Structure 1
Amino acid sequence: MIAALDHVQLAAPAGSEDALRAYYAGVLGMTEIPKPPALAARGGCWFRAGPVQLHLGVEQDFRPARKAHPGLRVTAIGAFAARLADHGAEVHWDDRLPGHRRFYSEDPVGNRLEFLEPVDG
């Protein structure tokens, strides 16, 4: 039986690790976690925020995910959106999910990310 979602992996181009670290750790506030040595040689990087893990793996013929995306639940979504915008990320608000405030943005390599917060009431 499935008990939980362990992680989500997104693809990234070779050599993008520094930009990914700056964004996922510096802007989003996630913590980089070490990859096992057998996997570290492949490039990419892994991040964690609480129980949420995102793995960025190098893909040779990389194309950013434009539709597929992780949905990341956040708190204080307005301030979170402002933080991303202050770091140069585009923020696209979407009000089509009842009971939530949400927006979409992209990481430095163009992968689509959804950020959402439930609305009380």
Structure 2
Amino acid sequence: MPVIEVECIDHLTLVVSDLDKSRHFYADVLGMREVPRPNFDFAGLWFQAGDTLLHLILTHDKSGPAGVFSPEKTPSTRTHHFAFRVPDAGAAWDALQASGEELTVISPPKFRPDGAVQVFLADPDGHVVELSSEPR
């Protein structure tokens, strides 16, 4: 019996070095629709790709570097990661804590500016995994 239940991939996040060039590539070349993003305290863009969101973060002093890199050297919530939607990220956190599983925690539950709840972990190879639930 699993500890929690993942519903789907919620979004993919990439750290980029130039938002204008990235906007051109994802919107003008690939045809993705730019969508509003919460009022984070760092620059970025969000695009809709079918049912999945693509989040771009402009590289900054608290993010990982733009491009391909080794996540174990820069564990951060503002770096390359993928997110799974779960019914309740806070409850998922509680279940993971109660499970006794040995976890690499990057960030316990926190609220996004729009009220969504996020938990960040690292998988066994250091890939950053987010568990996300919609705002209530």
Classify the TM-score, shorter chain.
0.3 to 0.5
- TM-score, normalising length: structure 2: 0.42
- TM-score, normalising length: structure 1: 0.47
